[in-house]
């Protein structure tokens, strides 16, 4: 019964609800008192649990000669129950999407808390990039993505990054603004951008005569990521609108100073 019990846990049944369900599953249609004994629970408490499971649609009840009897859903019944739950959640999800403005308006007066998360190693760098992709690929309205990076550093940590065109870029809503270090692999990276006709990618070069930024920086929505690619790679994501807006202001000022 371990696999079945795990499924029941995922359906958010508590321990005693699971005991009643499994007891009823084992003995079939039976009086509640018999199911309670099989489950090792008191009869009075079992009646409460039966009502809870009936409300969830996982138990059926009949009456024979004045005796209440219960029976769990069979395999097909539980499968149908899960299907109904999925459809219900899809309806809720669509309603939530339609209510986005109401949710944001309701929280407008609540100060936002800064969230900070740390990532270690090459897998950590990949996780940061994956989070950015997941955030951006869902957007269906125009937005700007600001980055400061070195193509050489990315290639050293993620070999094939340039050749496979792994920099984050989506059409048609994104306008990506990049300040790119003037390093040896920059030309190869820019050739990939041109060959793939990524017209919404705009860049300016941070000249090699100036000290290269020690970290790569990416700013999207209300998040800011710093990637340290030297030695043992690591990264940090800061989620705070004021901090992200401050970075964008700094970025735009630096952008105007470059050719």
Summarised one tens digit per residue, pLDDT across range 221-251 is 999 999 998 888 999 999 999 999 999 999 9
1 has pLDDT over 60? no
CA 40, CA 19: separation in Å to the nearest integer?
A: 8
Across 27-54, average pLDDT: 91
In the prediction, which pLDDT does 110 show? 67
Helix axes of 2-10 and 15-27: crossing angle, nearest 10 degrees: 130
Give residue limits of the domains in the chain: 2-73, 115-257
Based on the number of CB atoms within 10 Å of its own CB, is 10 exposed (0-12), middle (13-18) or buried (19 or more)? exposed
Across 188-194, average pLDDT: 96
- Model pLDDT for residues 77-89, shown as the tens digit of each residue: 888 888 888 888 8
111 has pLDDT over 60? yes
In the prediction, which pLDDT does 4 show? 86
Q: Determine whether domain 2-73 maps to CATH 1.10.10.10.
A: yes
In the prediction, which pLDDT does 40 show? 93
In the prediction, which pLDDT does 199 show? 93
Q: Which structure tokens are listed for 200?
A: 């919404």
In the prediction, which pLDDT does 5 show? 85
* Share above pLDDT 90 across residues of the chain, in percent, rounded to a whole number: 63
DSSP H or E stretch at residue 177: strand 174-181
- Model pLDDT for residues 158-186, shown as the tens digit of each residue: 999 999 999 999 988 999 999 999 999 99
Confidence bin at 102 (pLDDT 50/70/90): confident
92 has pLDDT over 70? yes
Please state which of the four CATH numbers 3.10.450.50, 3.30.870.10, 1.10.3720.10, 1.10.150.120 is assigned to the domain occupying 115-257.
3.30.870.10
The structure's pTM equals 0.59
In the prediction, which pLDDT does 125 show? 95
What is the side-by-side strand order in the sheet with 30-31? Answer: 30-31, 67-72, 59-64
Across 43-50, average pLDDT: 90
44 has pLDDT over 70? yes
CA 11, CA 20: separation in Å to the nearest integer?
A: 14
Q: Which residue has the higher pLDDT, 221 or 10?
A: 221
In the prediction, which pLDDT does 133 show? 95
Confidence bin at 190 (pLDDT 50/70/90): very high
* Share above pLDDT 70 across residues of the chain, in percent, rounded to a whole number: 98
Q: Are 61 and 29 in contact (CB under 8 A)?
A: no
pLDDT averaged over every residue in the chain: 91
In the prediction, which pLDDT does 115 show? 93
């Amino acid at each position: 019964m371990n696999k079945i019990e795990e499924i029941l846990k995922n359906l958010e049944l508590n321990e005693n609800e699971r005991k009643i369900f499994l007891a009823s599953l084992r003995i079939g249609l039976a009086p509640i008192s018999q199911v309670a004994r099989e489950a090792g629970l008191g009869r009075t408490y079992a009646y409460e649990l039966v009502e809870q499971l009936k409300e969830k649609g996982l138990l059926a009840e009949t009456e024979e000669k004045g005796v209440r009897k219960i029976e769990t859903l069979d395999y097909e019944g539980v499968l149908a129950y899960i299907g109904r739950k999925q459809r219900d959640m899809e309806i809720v999800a669509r309603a939530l999407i339609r209510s986005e403005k109401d949710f944001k308006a309701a929280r407008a007066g609540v100060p936002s808390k800064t969230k900070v998360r740390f990532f270690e190693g090459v897998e950590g760098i990949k996780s940061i990039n994956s989070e950015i992709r997941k955030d951006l690929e869902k957007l269906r309205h125009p937005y700007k993505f600001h980055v400061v990076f070195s193509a050489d550093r990315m290639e050293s940590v993620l070999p094939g990054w340039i050749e496979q065109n792994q920099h984050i870029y989506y059409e048609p809503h994104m306008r990506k603004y990049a300040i790119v270090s003037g390093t040896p692999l920059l030309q190869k990276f820019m050739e990939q951008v041109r060959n793939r006709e990524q017209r919404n990618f705009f860049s300016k070069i941070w000249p090699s005569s100036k000290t290269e930024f020690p970290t790569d920086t990416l700013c999207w929505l209300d998040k800011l990521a710093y990637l340290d690619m030297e030695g043992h790679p690591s990264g940090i994501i800061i989620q705070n609108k004021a901090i992200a807006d401050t970075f964008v202001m700094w970025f735009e000022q630096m952008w105007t100073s470059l050719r």
